[in-house]
Structure formats: C-alpha cells, structure tokens
Structure 1
Amino acid sequence: MVKTFLQGVAVAGLLGGAFFMFNIPSRTVDVVVPLQETLAARAEIIFGGDMMFDRSVRTAMEENGADFIFSCIDPVLQGADLVVANLEGPITATSSRSVGSALGTPDNFTFTFPTSIARLLLHHRIGVVNLGNNHIENFGFDGVRSTIAALKNAGVAYFGDPLRHAVAEREVGGVKLTFVNYNEFTSTPLGASGAASTTLSQIASERAAGFIPVVYTHWGVEYATTSSAYSRELAHRFIDAGAELVIGSHPHVVEEHELYTGKYIYYSLGNFIFDQYWDDDVRHGLLLDVVFGRAGVESVKEIPVELGRDRRTCPVE
C-alpha cells in the first residue's frame, strides 16, 4: 500500500456575486498497488540430475531414516524457491526387486520407490519432477499411475509422464515458468522423433501463452562425458522453438554445456541421488542454481556435488 499526500490548496471563486476563499485541508489517500508492481519478479530454481531411491539408497534410508540421504545437501536446496530433478523410477507399494540383487541382472535395474518418497521430496524443496525417462515404466502403466497419485497427494508437480506427456506450469516469485520434457527413450509408437515433435509443439504453445519454457531432457549415451550429435542438434531446435533453458539427464555423468543464441544448454547434470561409485565421473554431479526474471534467465551458478558411499549427496567444498 502506498500513501499519497495531497497538500492543502486555496480555492477562490464567486458565489451569488460575492467573492469567497477557503482552504482544502491536507489529507492522506491510500492507493493500493499490486505487490508484483512494487517488487521485481524473481525465481531462484535449483536443477538436479538423476534421482534413484531403490537398491542400496533404499537400504540406507531404512537404516538411517529417509532424510539422511539429503542431510548434507539440504542447506543448499532450502536456499532455493524450488528444486526440479529427474525421478528415475516409479513410486509404488510393490516390494523392491533391486535391493540385494546381483549386479548386472535385470532386477538390479528394475526400480520402485517407497510411497513415502513423494513427501520426502517436497520436504527437501523438490516440488517438480521429470517423469520422462527410461525407468518410469519399470512397473508398467500401473506404476506410472501410482507415481502420479503419490505425487499429487503430496503436492509435487510432475511433467513428461508417458500417459499424457504433461507439462508443469508454475508461477514462482512472479515468474511464469513451464517445464517440458523430451524423452529419447519413449515407449510410444512414434519413438524419439515423435517425442521431439511433441516437445517442440509444447515449447511453442507455452511460450505463446506467456510462460518461460524450460526443457528437461532424458537423452544421450550412458557414461559418455560428451554429448551426442543428435542431442546437440535437437537442443538447438528446442532453443529455436522458444525454450529459455535446456537441461539434460540420463548419461549419469556431467557433460559439457554451451551458450546457443544466448541461451544455456547443459547436456547432462549427471547423478544427484544415486548409488554409482566406480569412478569420479559417476560419483560427481552438478546442481544448477538459476535465477529467472520475467524476461528469462538472469544468472546461472554451478554447484558441484559428490555422491558419498554412505549414500548421501554433498556439495564439493
């Protein structure tokens, strides 16, 4: 609320042929100004890579409490308005098949996360998750539906699900953002090219609707530290279509980034919450602290992280 002060003024005139003069006293008028007009729009979003809450990560949560795996990185996450990351598997009530399984067997790569995970995510500021990846259908469409129900119940938004390929629109700090997925490994009949067409269409329509589109992809080659030519070509098409920022996942290692026509492309952020430790590349990931204004990205800060063998993710000092 802004108070406008009107100073007293003298007014003179004629009334019935007689001259008169009087003063209008000073007064204060309350003028209501919308908050968004008095404060600059600003949204600080942290983006993370792949999150997996099964295998030995699930065991660590059961032994130490679910919050344990976030205990080291949580002060970083709590400093943001919102955290966005890739949920690399479904949330179901089904018992784990991967806990205790032999390395390299099919069960070792079949993930399901406890139903408590959705609320755990929100507790640690992760309010939007990508579901467009190669593990979300590990328990079929029933697992996808179970995941969506758990996320909705906890108040966590999602995008990229294989049922509707939904986008997630969020207004944060007066900034209208939308999160759009591209999944190279989609199970739909049209495959990767069809998924790309859908993503390009969603980018354009969301930009036309007044939202700032952020594209979060699942693409590339696992454990390759350099992006593929296909990913680079497609990332440029996403930017040309109106994407403000492109962020990649799936390789489980950090890949290069670039500025294309003034827009950032991070081809892979690597692991965020995972149990891979065999070399430095898989043990180290990247968080991105991105500040948005109404016109788009204002700043990008890289936060290197390391996966500990105790299953906690910590910032690299």
Structure 2
Amino acid sequence: GIAVLNEDNLRSAIQAAQQVSDVVVVLPHWGPEDVPVPNWSQRELAQLAVDAGADLVVGNHTHVVQAIEDIDGVTVFYSLGNFVFDQNWALDHQQGVILLVTFQGTEMVDYQLIPTHVDLDGRVHIASDQEAAEILARIDQVSRSLP
C-alpha cells in the first residue's frame, strides 16, 4: 500500500510497529533525486522518527548515496544509492551500498557498508577496491559536512 510520508503517519506507524516488534526500522522514500546531501525535510523527518522510537532509519529514493548521521544514538542512513536500476548515464547512479546491520537484542551494535556497482548490462557487482574506497570516501565527506 501507500502511506503518505508526513509527521502524523510516521509517528503512528512507528508506534504501531513498537507494539508488535522488538526493533523498529523505518524505511522512508524521501529526498530529491541526485542530491548527496539530505535536505531539511529528510533531516526533520529523521529526527521525528528517532523521537517516535525508531531504532534505525534507512532511506531511499535519491538514486545516489547520501550521508550517514547519528541522531540521539540512532543511526540514520539517508540513502543507500541505487542497487538494481538501469540509470547508467552517471557513475554515481551506478553505485550504491549494501547495508549489513548487527543487533544484540534491541540495540544496533555494528554496521557494514558493502559498496556496489551496476554494470551496463544491469548486473550488480561488489565494487572494485578503488571504487569502493571512492564511494565510502564520498559518504564520509558528505556526512562530515552536515551541520
């Protein structure tokens, strides 16, 4: 189904999930395409999700990797970039990351990002060492730029 991403719906969905889940992971479809820096709306909604009880926030939609931020002890991945998508006109559209998360009980204790590359035939590969380093450096740079 479709749920409009607004404050009331987000808060209600998180509260409902808390009643039946040990861990609440919020997966918002948000933000402008092709922009590596999360906008004010994404950041406000991330804060709202954390305040409402989200244990992890993993965004999507922008087609490029975005920043990672810690909000009150909760990790927010604003966008993991593209995974399987045929947008091959720009290198950053062919790149993304696989997110592996480790929880101990209800606490996220670790995560790993595995950089990926979609080739011109639409096949996903683990990025080469050089490309992986570039992707991770770009995420780090944009994450450090957040106020």
Distance 1:208 1:242 in 2: 11
The partner residue of 1:266 within 77, 100, 112 is: 77
What's 2:124 paired with?
Answer: 313
What's 2:39 paired with?
Answer: 228
**Which residues of 2 match residues 276-287 of structure 1 at below 5 A?**
276-287=87-98
Distance 1:234 1:310 in 2: 36
From the two aligned structures, give the one with the greater strand fraction.
Answer: 1
**Which residues of 2 match residues 290-305 of structure 1 at below 5 A?**
290-305=101-116
Distance 2:73 2:127 in 1: 28
**Which residues of 2 match residues 224-263 of structure 1 at below 5 A?**
224-263=35-74
- 1:231-275 Cα deviation digits (max 9, x unpaired): 001101101111000011111000111111111101111101001
The partner residue of 1:201 within 1, 4, 12 is: 12
Identify unmatched segments of 5+ residues in structure 1.
1-160, 166-185, 187-191
- Letter in structure 1 aligned against 2:109: E
From the two aligned structures, give the one with the greater helix fraction.
Answer: 2
**Taking structure 2 as the reference length, what is the TM-score of the superposition?**
0.81
Distance 1:198 1:211 in 2: 20
Distance 2:82 2:21 in 1: 32
Residues 251 and 210 (structure 1 numbering): CA distance in 2 closer, same or farther, change over 3 Å?
A: closer
| Partners of 2:22 and 2:106 within 8 A in 1 | no
- SS in structure 2 at match of 1:302: strand
- SS in structure 2 at match of 1:314: strand
The number of equivalent residue pairs is: 128
What's 1:101 paired with?
Answer: none
- SS in structure 2 at match of 1:278: coil
Distance 2:78 2:87 in 1: 20
- 1:202-235 Cα deviation digits (max 9, x unpaired): 2123224452100001010011111111100110
- SS in structure 2 at match of 1:201: helix
- SS in structure 2 at match of 1:203: helix
**Taking structure 1 as the reference length, what is the TM-score of the superposition?**
0.39
Matched, 1:213 2:27: no
- SS in structure 1 at match of 2:59: strand
- SS in structure 1 at match of 2:113: strand
- Letter in structure 2 aligned against 1:207: Q
